[in-house]
Structure 1
Amino acid sequence: MSRWKPDAAGRLAKAAIELFAEQGYEATTVAEIAERAGLTKRTFFRYYADKREVLFGGAQELENCWLAGMDAAPEDADPMAVVAAGFGPISDLFADRHPFARLRAGIVAENPDLQERELIKLHRLTGVLQHALAKRGVSDHAAALAAQAGVAVFHVAFGRWTRREAPTSLGALMDDSLDELRSVVTATATATT
């Protein structure tokens, strides 16, 4: 086994996602992932704590990308505009990841434990965005609403994106979902007044 080929983490992730798709998440072992990647089991654990982390290892990168977009938002932007400022960088982050994201989404959808982990990841992401808004002086209540709405928009758009055979712009889907959310909120507000 050659341990000197570049991008061991990427090779492990590719091998894992292929094996999960072929034989199921539960039936796949770390040893099989390492073998398919041409690496050792020990090398696997240098990059991932367990096989689940192959599917969730990008959470920090997503948070960092979203926060960078929010940091670039104008100081006078409203809370939802600040959250939405992260949509462009997120779209760029996922621009060439559609095949992986599509397979990953199917694997997560088939496993209740992975679905739970996905919800935990989204909850953590919401807290990170809420904290970033609070640091900008947004009230706790407004920060919570904007962060939760932004994560919901991302989650819905990402689901639409991964269900498509041919990738379209994730950014466009997030913008469409945000517009739909605004129309739902406006229609609800109009109906109750």
Structure 2
Amino acid sequence: MRTAPTGRPGRPRAISRGMLAEAACELFLERGYDATTVGDIASRAGIARSSFFNYAAGKAELVWGALDERIAGLEAAIDRGASVAEALRGLADGFHPDQLALVLAQADAMRMADHVDLESAVRGYRIARVVARGLRAVGEDPLGAEVRGGAHGAAVLAALREWAHDGAGASAFATHLARATAYVPTR
């Protein structure tokens, strides 16, 4: 007697990077960040561990990937000659709540506050470096450009944290970023 196959025949179910990120955040809340493996995330999402890597290089990329793409856009805008203010508006425009907002708001519950601190520092430095390069390109003193670049990196991250804690989506991220960058000194 033959038994019926347990899985659905044909193509595997469709999955997206966003679905993987949702599965990851569920597991981070249940088990904590360090106790959650890529295999756990893939299993929760219903895919093979090896398929996970078609969507992300690791679990950190699921959380930070959308921001990394926006930082790359910031860099491209600066390289095209956009002003720092224009490039930062581009980073903020259309920024929608995603897993990063959940992680920033729930880092302690996910037992990943140290991870958030480390990864935030990396992104802040990348933003600082790009902004400083843009400021130097328009003739700003190198030291002043570095200081203001660092302040802009800190402003972006402070705005992200405030936006997440206030209920991401309740207001536009651009509003929070405009408030934060208002504290950055001009020449």
The answer to whether 1:35 aligns with 2:36 is no
Residue equivalent to 1:101: 100
Residue equivalent to 1:58: 66
Query: Which of 5, 8, 23 pairs up with 2:14?
Result: 5
Structure 2 counterparts to residues 23-172 of structure 1, below 5 A: 23-70=31-78, 71=80, 73=82, 82-94=83-95, 96=96, 98-108=97-107, 110-111=111-112, 112-165=114-167, 167-172=170-175
Q: Which amino acid aligns with 2:101?
A: R
* More displaced 10-residue stretch of structure 1: 49-58 or 147-156: 49-58
- Identical-residue share of aligned pairs (%): 26
Deviation at 1:141, TM superposition (A): 1.7
Q: Which amino acid aligns with 1:5?
A: A
Q: Max radius of gyration: which structure?
A: 2
Aligned residues: 173
Distance 1:13 1:43, change over 3 A: same
Query: TM-score w.r.t. structure 1 length?
Result: 0.74
Could you tell me whether the CA contact under 8 Å between 1:25 and 1:107 is conserved in 2?
A: no
Instruction: Determine helix, strand or coil for the equivalent of 1:86.
Output: helix
Query: TM-score w.r.t. structure 2 length?
Result: 0.76
Rounded to whole Å, the distance in 2 between the matches of 1:49 and 1:68 is 22
Deviation at 1:34, TM superposition (A): 0.6
The answer to whether 1:173 aligns with 2:181 is no
Rounded to whole Å, the distance in 1 between the matches of 2:131 and 2:184 is 18
Report the structure, 1 or 2, having the larger helix content.
1
Distance 1:102 1:172, change over 3 A: same
Instruction: Determine helix, strand or coil for the equivalent of 2:36.
Output: coil
Rounded to whole Å, the distance in 1 between the matches of 2:41 and 2:55 is 12
The answer to whether 1:20 aligns with 2:21 is no
Deviation at 1:164, TM superposition (A): 0.9
Superposed CA RMSD in Å reads: 2.7
Could you tell me whether the CA contact under 8 Å between 1:21 and 1:103 is conserved in 2?
A: no
Instruction: Determine helix, strand or coil for the equivalent of 2:140.
Output: coil
